[in-house]
Amino acid sequence: MSINLPLPLLGEMATFVKVVETGSFSEAARQMAVSPSAVSRSISRLEKALATRLLQRTTRKLRLSEGGEEVFKRCREMLNAARSVMQISGQYTHEAEGLVRVGVPKAVSGLWCIRICRSFYGVIPRWMYS
């Protein structure tokens, strides 16, 4: 099996974890700012790719299938590992970040500061639109 095969399913796996944690497709959709049908399609894609039923759905509640419990455990571990990676990577960031304040005469700011900010950073200084 190719190591890259699961990569397209990472989003579906994260959605699956959110559905199980919230206990509801609609609540998961609300928290993820997507439609409930998008969540349902995501779960269906994951079930199809894994060739197993993950959730037993009724009109009133969701329940994990036996295979769904195992998949949920692994997917949750994967998400926790990804969160850990993001936390660790923040500790080793060597780039400066944050707000930069520059005091210059208006004539200079109109000529140079806007051009520099746009060309190097892709932003317009806050005073231009506030």
Residues 6+ apart with CB under 8 A from 38: 29
In the chain, % of residues over pLDDT 70: 74
114: pLDDT strictly greater than 80 = no
Residues 41 and 74 in one domain: yes
- Per-residue pLDDT at 1: 46
Res. 47 pLDDT band, cuts 50 70 90 = very high
Asked if residue 1 belongs to a domain, the reply is no
Res. 99 pLDDT band, cuts 50 70 90 = confident
For residues 96-115, give the mean pLDDT: 70
- Per-residue pLDDT at 27: 92
126: pLDDT strictly greater than 60 = no
- Per-residue pLDDT at 44: 93
Token pair, residue 82, equals 């990804």
H helix count then E strand count, the chain: 6, 2
Asked if residue 2 belongs to a domain, the reply is no
Residues 69 and 20 in one domain: yes
**Number of structural domains found in the chain:** 2
* Domain, as residue range, for 107: 100-130
Does 55 or 98 have the greater pLDDT score? 55
71: pLDDT strictly greater than 90 = yes
Residues 28 and 39 sit within 8 Å (Cβ to Cβ)? yes
